[in-house]
Amino acid sequence: MMSGLKQELGLAQGIGLLSTSLLGTGVFAVPALAAMVAGDNSLWAWPVLIALVFPIAIVFATLGRHYPSAGGVAHFVGLAFGPRLEKVTGWLFLSVIPVGLPAALHIATGFGQALFGWHGASLLLAQLGTLAIVWWVGSRGASTSANLQVLVAILIVALIGAIWLAGGIDARQIPFPAVRDIDQHQLFAALSVMFWCFVGLEAFAHLAAEFRNPMRDFPRALITGLLLAGAVYWACTAIVLHFHAFGDNQAAAASLPSIVVQLFGLKALWVACIIGFLACFASLNIYIQSFARLVWSQAQHNPGSYLARLSPRQIPANALNLVLGCCVVSSLVIYLAEINLDTLIVYANGIFIMIYLLCMVAGCRLLTGKNRLLALCGTVLCLGLLLMTGWKSLYALVMLAVLWWVLPFATRHGAAHKKAG
């Protein structure tokens, strides 16, 4: 485990970090998208998805418990297959910065656009302001981020609970189809839309070394956060179906805000949009903090490096500044070149699947017994997702090949990693 980072995270903070990372940009939009493609079958899709993701989550939890490191998946891969593939994995994850983070920023500031009608330069300034808030939060340590995201998780759960109560939703009246009546085609269509809600485990892995008791609390936080996020998504889907707030004539992200206005009046739209922004901000924040820790951990191969230094608060501040600088440049380029953000999201998705796949393969090498079997199941699932993504996964495959060819072999210091059986 890399030393130096302050170990200050507890169980509740870990749950808040992961749950808000998974809810993030998806909680307002994905339930409506799932309902649109699968109707009542989407109520079954969430428990099925949790069951599919669970082996992957257990592998992440076990690896993070036994090998806590700011390097996250790259560290696990390095332990299993050596320093060269560790570097490749780290840079593969970092390649998401110019394509994925600007898209997440755009979604987050979209709530301000809904309230104030921001466009063009105003929207760009809102995005840069959001990055400034991320810098302020990140410069105060992991516990500040965690405390903020615990608050965001409470606000999201409170909003969903208020809608259930005010909407008079009775659990006995939720239109759960009988198992024999499930439309498998619609179920799989919903799963393909919903899987991206559970991208976030790889970012959370970078914070394992900052738990006060990573052996005990990291796996508990990961599994509990996963189940909490799944429950919130299911409850949101039930709400969207109850109010029939989905369809081609309504933007998916507007479904929950429209229900809030219907139940509580137009003034309540402010509350919904603020919570929506905070949910997106929480996901964006954990990714940027994770990228900073990955950059810092990669710089440890050259201890004299500017990026290998920690601030007096034991925060990788120099690495955080670099990551945020890249985000600023990417946002400006996308604004000036008018690049389509939908295209960027497609490229980022392939990278995430590849990262998950590399982690599962590393788990097959590092773990034993039933955990190795779970890693094998996770590997098969990730390969299936890569095939389902089709040509969209080419970006990830090309990036992997280019990085393997371009990046030199790591130093002997990196090669000294021990493999665990």
Instruction: Please give the domain boundaries of the chain with CATH numbers for all domains.
Output: 11-415 (1.20.1740.10)
Dist. CA 309–CA 361, nearest whole Å: 31
CA 6, CA 145: separation in Å to the nearest integer?
A: 13
pLDDT of residue 6: 83
Higher-confidence position of 391 and 88: 88
- What's the chain's average pLDDT? 86
Cα–Cα dist 200/286, whole Å: 9
**pLDDT band with cut points at 50, 70 and 90 for residue 415:** very low
Residue 321: which pLDDT band, with cuts at 50, 70 and 90?
very high
* pLDDT recorded at residue 344: 66
Return d(Cα 38, Cα 56) in angstroms, integer: 25
Residue 154's pLDDT band, with cuts at 50, 70 and 90, is very high
* pLDDT band at 298; cut points 50, 70, 90: confident
2 dihedral zone (left: phi>0; alpha: psi -120 to 50; beta): beta
> Is residue 208 scored above 70 in pLDDT?
yes
| Dihedral angle of Cα 254, 160, 149, 328, to the nearest 10 degrees | 0
Token pair 């925060």 is found at 315
Residues forming beta bridges with residue 9, ordered by sequence position: 211
Cα gap 421→78, rounded to integer Å = 14
Asked if 317 contacts 349 with a C-beta cutoff of 8 angstroms, the reply is no
Q: pLDDT category, 343, cuts 50, 70, 90?
A: low
Would you place residue 13 in the very low, low, confident or very high pLDDT band (cuts 50, 70, 90)?
Answer: very high
Instruction: Kindly indicate the confidence band of residue 346, based on its pLDDT and cuts at 50, 70 and 90.
Output: low
DSSP 172: G
Q: Of residues 8 and 76, which shows the higher confidence score?
A: 76
Q: What is the widest separation between alpha-carbon atoms in the chain?
A: 64
Q: What is the mean pLDDT of residues 309-325?
A: 91
pLDDT at res. 419: 43
* Residue found by looking up tokens 């606000």 in the block: 155
**How far apart, in whole angstroms, are the C-alpha atoms of residue 69 and residue 80?**
14
Strand partners, 211: 9
Predicted pLDDT at 352: 87
For residues 190-209, give the mean pLDDT: 84
Which whole number is the average pLDDT over 26-46? Answer: 88
What local confidence, expressed as pLDDT, does residue 416 receive?
44
Give the C-alpha separation, 305 to 298, whole Å: 10
pLDDT tens by residue, 237-267 = 999 999 988 877 767 777 888 899 999 998 8
The closest alpha carbon to 46, from 228, 230, 183, belongs to 230
The two three-digit tokens of residue 145, written as one number: 């981020």
Residue 274 has pLDDT above 80, yes or no: yes
pLDDT (average), residues 107-124: 80
